[in-house]
A and B are shown apart, each in its own frame.
Chain A
């Protein structure tokens, strides 16, 4: 891993089109600004991981009774 020291207000270029700025440092917390093209997705790591795990759990339900289980769920607002 590349490790760089930066001061508040300084920036890092990733490739030609991603700019990471150090906005504010206070104690253990750092505020970071990221400018990137719209096709680049940016996530907080813990949220990314949680969603990836949830997706993996949801994928290809193996329970044969999935259809019956789903049919039993009441909806709060029928169309």
Chain B
């Protein structure tokens, strides 16, 4: 299938690579389908592009590369919603905010949980954990909480 993207132009993606958000990225309730943009180079970052809105992209990061002790429990209700059966099917990503060369952060408070097998995804909110929505990737904060 073809997807229009303001950033990447027209892209061709496999139907089965579409991420289906069972619970939308907060504030973007209308957009529930995204495609992961295949990367050329190895990078901890990855774009997702909304299928419906060519102008809507997010940058996702692998949070564990920046915060080695990042951890949380995936609650039963989330497991059910994402139909997660096995730990091997879980992928965790954090939404990255790039504001300027000196202000780049990831949201550890509300990560994206992906079921790699079914391609279902959702943004969860870690209500009990004390993680920041703006965890800086700069300023040598890499190891701090």
Contacts and interface: CB of A to CB of B under 8 A. Distances in A.
Contacts of B17: none
A47 interface: yes
Interface residues of A, number: 32
B117 interface: no
Contact of B95 (A50, A55, A73): A55
A51 interface: yes
A51 B77 contact: no
Interface string A28-59: 00000000001101011001101111111111
Given A54-B110, A55-B25, A55-B95, A60 B43 contact: no
Interface residues of B, number: 43
Please classify the interface of chain B as helix (H, G, I), strand (E, B), loop, or mixed, using the class held by over half of its residues: loop
A38 B27 contact: no
B65 A77 contact: yes
A63 B44 CA distance: 19
Contacts of A53: 27
A73 B6 CA distance: 25
Interface of B: 6-7, 23, 25-28, 43-45, 55-59, 64-68, 77, 80-81, 95-101, 104, 107, 109-110, 123, 125, 127, 133-134, 137-138, 142-143
Given A51-B109, A60-B7, 14 more contacts: A38-B77, A47-B125, A55-B27, A55-B95, A57-B99, A58-B58, A58-B98, A60-B55, A70-B45, A70-B104, A74-B142, A75-B142, A76-B67, A76-B142
